[in-house]
Structure 1
Amino acid sequence: MDRLRAIETFLKAIDLGSFNRTASAQGTTPQAVSKAVRQLERELGVQLFRRSTRKSSLTEEGRRFADKVRPGIETVNSAWQHARQAVTEEHGTIRLTASPSLGRLFLLPLIGMFRRMYPGVMVELLSDDRYTDLIGSDIDIGFRSGFSPDAQLVVRELFRIQLIICASPAYLAEHGVPSQRAQLEGHMFTGSRHPNTGRISPWEFLHEGELRFGDLPAGFTSNDPEAETQAVIAGLGVGQIDSISAARHLRSGALVPLMLDQLNERYGVYMYYAQRTEIPSRVRKFIDFVMAQTGDAAACRLTEEELKTLHRRGLRAATPSKPAR
């Protein structure tokens, strides 16, 4: 016996006052309604209706049973309806995960725009440098920089990250402007320490089209990309900074791009989520929104012409002014 269906039929018969009207409401027959009620009575061991050839009336036991089960049935139906609506309506919570720097610099502006469009959707952002198990952590969408995540997930590449060698105008005015790798000798450097392995990431250079790695002595290292960026701005040395962290500082003039022939784009930013047949509407809309808004990722990347312009402007700013005579 379908216990839940039988209880719903019993309550409907009370509300409509007739097995015939109950059958009509449920799209079945009066005999099927009567059978469902009798099966429920047998399982409970009590009589729920007094029956005669002309009508049926509720017993005292039936009334008490109805009073006890009705709130529970209404709760189940409400929860069912709420779950169905979550697939089609823009309400509820989206849980995201990203590294701290990617969350702050890339995701937060997008989240703000999205919530202005869909104020009924709440967003929870889990900041973590480690790779996050979406299913085990109850995460809807993940964002990561570097290499593409597990192929068992749905993975969307958003844009390529640029690694840009740069320094502050004040540092260059004092220490000179390196234009090729050999001229880096004698300069001070910053370094990036991988948050998971603890190792200092080597610098990446291009030589005749091939990628080469180099260990440069870093006077300052950090596992926080934003901290390293601020160190370069403060004049602690030359750094190889990702474009997500550096773009706005390059455009403001706080940093000067150097050695543009060494621009590296082998890393990407990826959005990923688990494969499932029913994606809630709010999650699907956020995925589509991110794809539409990312476009050429102008806030996180610079064009070749823009880099050349900023390089020339930075060199002028780094040239010590001649004293007036």
Structure 2
Amino acid sequence: MCGQFGCYLLPDKLAKLGLTIYRIQIIKVYQIAMDRILAMQVFSRIVELGAFGKAADSLGLPRATVTQMIKQLESHLGVQLLQRTTRQVRATLDGQAYYQRCVHLLADIEEAESFFSQTRNNPQGQLRIDLPASLGHRVIIPAMTQFCARYPKIELIVGSTDRPVDLVREGVDCVVRAGQIHDLGLVARPLAQLPQITCASAEYLSRFGTPQGIAELVGHRAVNYASALNGRVFPFEFQVDGKLLEIAQPGTVTVNNAEAYVAACEAGLGIIQAPYYHLHDQLANGSMVEILSQHRPPAMPLTALYPPHRQLSRRVRVWVDWLVELFSADQWAMTHEN
């Protein structure tokens, strides 16, 4: 309505206008909060992957957008978060402190969302895992249909390697590893103890004879296994009278991959020590023969590992729980007859 001194709004009109302005303000606040969370995610990925481009690709964002978001975030905080060179991007001291807070905040947000939404019982999204090559191919991957049927909205991105994986830098959520764990900064969930045996090919034993005791290993050759981390060759291990005996057995072939290790043994190149699951078929058909069964090696621990900031992730949690279930199931042949 317009009067002598201009137009004015009736109370009901004014109330509606005020409500509209309030809603707009709420939307703006919400958008700012969501932008801030996205900026934290972008910053965290850059720190973890060490490059703007890799972070943009992993999040499905244009690289220019990622660069602009970091500039705005640094401007908002009033500090430099990243040091950029032609080869690498590193967090500054302020950036390292901010990264640690982001990791915890983002984990809390994900946990809160999963708790109050349907994803608690039906988690969804991508889960990046890495498996030992032989164990993955023979045991875990063939059983994955069970996991996928139970959690159809989880997309598994599977790596299959025997090398050490930098979970944070490579963006991997969880790895499964056999052997002793050296990275104490990761959360470790024991899965199983893998029985091991000493064996050789039937052809090798027909040529060089079958040792009946450890002393008779003199003159025999080994296929040696070297660490992919530092190149250290692992000695043979035997349990003798409740004590562990280590022997560095000479060999003409050294490998750093489980598949190559067994293949070299099958080819008659020497004696190996390996988990029983990897040799089950060869032992059954007679191409490989166990030796020194009275002094079997200690069992090899199998462990699921994930970064501390992933321990609240529902996707990681159900994956690790499924692994525990898989390796405790009776149908999986973890042992053999003495």
Q: 1:152–1:239: structure 2 CA closer, same or farther, 3 Å change rule?
A: closer
Give, as a single letter, the amino acid of the residue that structure 2 aligns with 1:211.
L
Q: What is the aligned partner in structure 1 of residue 9 from structure 2?
A: 51
In the TM superposition, residue 227 of structure 1 has moved relative to its aligned partner by: 1.0
Give, as a single letter, the amino acid of the residue that structure 2 aligns with 1:222.
V
2:149 is aligned with 1:116: yes
Q: What SS is found at the alignment partner of 1:93?
A: strand
Q: Deviations over 1:171-191 (max 9, x none)?
A: 223332211112223333311
Q: 1:228–1:278: structure 2 CA closer, same or farther, 3 Å change rule?
A: closer
Tell me the TM-score normalized by structure 2: 0.61
Q: Is the 1:145–1:269 contact (alpha carbons within 8 Å) kept by the matching residues of 2?
A: yes
Alpha-carbon RMSD: 3.6
Q: In the alignment, which of 213, 217, 227 is matched to residue 180 of structure 1? A: 213
Give, as a single letter, the amino acid of the residue that structure 1 aligns with 2:10.
S
Give, as a single letter, the amino acid of the residue that structure 2 aligns with 1:52.
L
Q: Deviations over 1:42-66 (max 9, x none)?
A: xxxxxxxx7322424989xx89x97
Q: In the alignment, which of 169, 182, 194 is matched to residue 202 of structure 2? A: 169
Give, as a single letter, the amino acid of the residue that structure 2 aligns with 1:291.
V
Q: What is the aligned partner in structure 1 of residue 291 from structure 2?
A: 258
Q: 1:189–1:274: structure 2 CA closer, same or farther, 3 Å change rule?
A: closer
Q: 1:254–1:302: structure 2 CA closer, same or farther, 3 Å change rule?
A: farther
Q: What is the aligned partner in structure 1 of residue 250 from structure 2?
A: 217
Provide structure 1 residue ranges, at least 5 long, that are not aligned to the other structure. 1-49, 309-325
Q: Is the 2:311–2:317 contact (alpha carbons within 8 Å) kept by the matching residues of 1?
A: no
Q: In the alignment, which of 293, 299, 320 is matched to residue 287 of structure 1? A: 320
Q: Is the 1:88–1:280 contact (alpha carbons within 8 Å) kept by the matching residues of 2?
A: no
Q: Is the 1:250–1:257 contact (alpha carbons within 8 Å) kept by the matching residues of 2?
A: yes
Q: 1:118–1:189: structure 2 CA closer, same or farther, 3 Å change rule?
A: same
Give, as a single letter, the amino acid of the residue that structure 2 aligns with 1:173.
S
In the TM superposition, residue 300 of structure 1 has moved relative to its aligned partner by: 6.0
Q: What is the aligned partner in structure 2 of residue 272 from structure 1?
A: 305
In the TM superposition, residue 288 of structure 1 has moved relative to its aligned partner by: 1.6
Q: How far apart, CA to CA, are the structure 1 residues paired with 2:264 and 2:331?
A: 24
Q: Deviations over 1:94-137 (max 9, x none)?
A: 11123333433343233333113333221112344444343443
Q: Is the 1:106–1:300 contact (alpha carbons within 8 Å) kept by the matching residues of 2?
A: no
Q: How far apart, CA to CA, are the structure 1 residues paired with 2:186 and 2:196?
A: 27
Q: What SS is found at the alignment partner of 1:211?
A: strand
Q: What is the aligned partner in structure 1 of residue 123 from structure 2?
A: 90
In the TM superposition, residue 198 of structure 1 has moved relative to its aligned partner by: 1.6
Q: Larger deviation: 115-124 or 83-92?
A: 83-92
Q: How far apart, CA to CA, are the structure 2 residues paired with 1:127 and 1:120?
A: 22
Q: Is the 2:164–2:228 contact (alpha carbons within 8 Å) kept by the matching residues of 1?
A: no
Q: Is the 1:248–1:299 contact (alpha carbons within 8 Å) kept by the matching residues of 2?
A: no
2:163 is aligned with 1:205: no
Q: Deviations over 1:234-256 (max 9, x none)?
A: 22222222334223322343311
Q: How far apart, CA to CA, are the structure 2 residues paired with 1:298 and 1:217?
A: 38
Q: What SS is found at the alignment partner of 1:155?
A: strand
Q: How far apart, CA to CA, are the structure 2 residues paired with 1:286 and 1:190?
A: 35
Q: What is the aligned partner in structure 2 of residue 160 from structure 1?
A: 193
Q: What SS is found at the alignment partner of 1:55?
A: helix
Q: How far apart, CA to CA, are the structure 1 residues paired with 2:204 and 2:165?
A: 39
Q: Is the 1:191–1:218 contact (alpha carbons within 8 Å) kept by the matching residues of 2?
A: yes
Q: 1:296–1:188: structure 2 CA closer, same or farther, 3 Å change rule?
A: farther
Q: 1:145–1:236: structure 2 CA closer, same or farther, 3 Å change rule?
A: same
Q: Deviations over 1:131-158 (max 9, x none)?
A: 4343443332221111135455432211
Q: How far apart, CA to CA, are the structure 2 residues paired with 1:200 and 1:149?
A: 16
Q: How far apart, CA to CA, are the structure 2 residues paired with 1:258 and 1:297?
A: 26
Q: Larger deviation: 98-107 or 198-207?
A: 98-107
Q: How far apart, CA to CA, are the structure 2 residues paired with 1:129 and 1:105?
A: 14
Q: Deviations over 1:284-318 (max 9, x none)?
A: 22222111111168746323xx2x4xxxxxxxxxx
2:205 is aligned with 1:247: no
Which consecutive aligned stretches of 4+ in structure 1 deviate over 4 angstroms post-superposition? Answer: 79-88, 149-152, 296-300
Tell me the TM-score normalized by structure 1: 0.63
Q: Aligned pairs, how many? A: 248
Q: How far apart, CA to CA, are the structure 2 residues paired with 1:123 and 1:257?
A: 37
